[in-house]
Amino acid sequence: MAKRDYWGVVRTCVAVAVATVMAVSCVMEEPEPVLLDSDKIAFGVAVDKGFVTKGADVASSAVGSGNSSQFFCAFGEDSIYLSVSEQNNSVQWTTGADSSAAGTKGAPIVDPSGSGNVLSEFWVSAKLNDGTVYFADDQVQVNAASTNRYWPPEDALNFLAYAPVSAKVADGNFVFSDAKWTASFEYSMPVDATDGNDATILPDYVYAIATNKTKNGGTVALGFHHAFSAICFKVGTMPKNVVIKHIALNGIYSNGSCSFVEGKDAEENDILVFTWSGQSEKKLFKQNFNVLVNGSEGTYLVKENDLNTAGQTFMVVPQVLPVDAAFEVCFSVDGVEYTLSKPIKDITDEWVADKKYVYSISIPEEVDIDITDDVNGAVKDNLKMTNKGLAYSYIRSAVIGYWIFESGSDEYIVADWKETDGEFVYGAGWNEHWKLNEDDGFYYYKYQLAPGQLPAVPLFESYTVTAVPPVANAKLQLNVMVQAVIASELGKVSWPWGLDSSSGWFVEGVKQ
């Protein structure tokens, strides 16, 4: 009788106890072994932990946290705050295979069907301790209870698994010698030809090793590790009606040489140690988001919205960040678009393999009112009060004036301005938009101003000086002062006629 080859695929047997009686004859033939399902090699997947790729949130502890940094708004004020957390990005596979185990592309584990964002397969090779190939590059389905490979009767096996299939960059880049796995490959990050979906096409190369495993050890637990660094973004505190349009990594290294060796952690679990070198080419990588950030009804802030839906995590070459590498964030507020940039090294010095860097973007509510007008002889007109901040605001305004006499480089106030020194012209509907508080002298605008908006009816259309100067050659200096408060803070300040006042003067909403 021919000897059975253990390396081949054999028939599936019924997984029950079998009593075998072998007769002894004069011809000494080696008996055919009985192969049970329990002898098949199986790889375990933990349902509660899962195998998460592309940098999705997992139940792992943070290993460190970065400092906060700031972008600078086009108006010269601090407008975007950036903070970062660094986390381990590897997840252990343990006993209990199940199809719901493998979330991918930055999405949480929500789709156990094997479609969409779920990684459904990996590839694995096995060698004996002497380096003999037992099998190579077998494709394994995550939802399979076991493989169609059988354990050798006595020898131990050493496994190397990877995903996706392109993670085996070239034949021969996986080497097993001196009872250890090593690997090396060259890599260059691809750029999306359609402009704006680079994170979507960036692959996530993951590898796992398990050494000196035997049949008696049961299910083989694979601890997968990421060769790349995961860069993802979350939305923190935001004003109303902010749209995150795109985020780009500009001038980061896009290529390099990777090698890894197996090692042991403090608990003697198999791990991989990655080394990257030779980074030289710099490119821009951009991902479109177009995410509208809005609070629930009646609120103005929304926190901790995850931008990282399928495919929107950047898997980048690990590197010490170049000095000129920069984040670029493009967002709009009520249709007004802003593009801001900030050096990455201001917040992070290095991206390390098998780590996830979660950058939280916050745009604080701030007020900034820009005032412009025209003066032509005795006429002041074209008054504009524009909300240059990123928050919905209420405003109040006061008019203050003085008669000024100039003598050389000096100026002297010779008299206070009186409204009767000239004539105001008001626009149609003024009484529906403005109200004078006699107690403090301020004119209050009834409606909220959205970012980039100015009052639908100005404080005045024009003011013309008609009085004779109190001193010969004196000039009237007429100043318009504006104060603003964030709309959501009204009622916490001492302004009259608040939202909760019985007068009901201020109203929620914007008057276009």
Tokens standing for residue 21: 């009686």
In a domain, 508, yes or no: no
Mean pLDDT over the full length of the chain: 74
Domain boundary at 362, 396, 419, which?
Answer: 362
**Which position has the higher pLDDT, 306 or 357?**
357
DSSP letters along 374-414, please?
Answer: EEETTEEEEEEEEE-SSS-EEEEEEEEEEEEEEETTEEEEE
Domain boundary at 315, 345, 362, which?
Answer: 362
Whether 463 and 340 share a structural domain:
no
Which residues are 343's β-sheet partners?
326
Whether 293 and 189 share a structural domain:
yes
Whether 338 and 382 share a structural domain:
no
Whether 47 and 85 share a structural domain:
yes
Instruction: Measure the CA–CA gap between 325 and 346, rounded to whole angstroms.
Output: 10
**Which position has the higher pLDDT, 434 or 142?**
434
Whether 464 and 400 share a structural domain:
yes
Average pLDDT over residues 343-347: 89
Query: In total, how many domains does the chain have?
Result: 2
Q: Mind listing the pLDDT tens digit for each residue in 419-469?
A: 999 999 999 999 999 988 888 889 999 888 888 889 999 999 999 999 999
In a domain, 1, yes or no: no
In a domain, 72, yes or no: yes
**Domain residue limits at 410:** 369-489
**Which position has the higher pLDDT, 335 or 228?**
228
Whether 379 and 342 share a structural domain:
no
Tokens standing for residue 443: 């004119």
pLDDT > 70: percent of the chain: 68
| Residues near 438 by beta carbon (within 8 Å), at least 6 away in sequence | none
CA end-to-end distance (rounded Å), the chain: 92
Q: Mind listing the pLDDT tens digit for each residue in 190-202?
A: 998 888 889 888 8
**Which position has the higher pLDDT, 255 or 196?**
255
Q: In what order do the strands lie in the sheet with 379-387?
A: 369-376, 379-387, 462-465, 422-425
Whether 179 and 303 share a structural domain:
yes
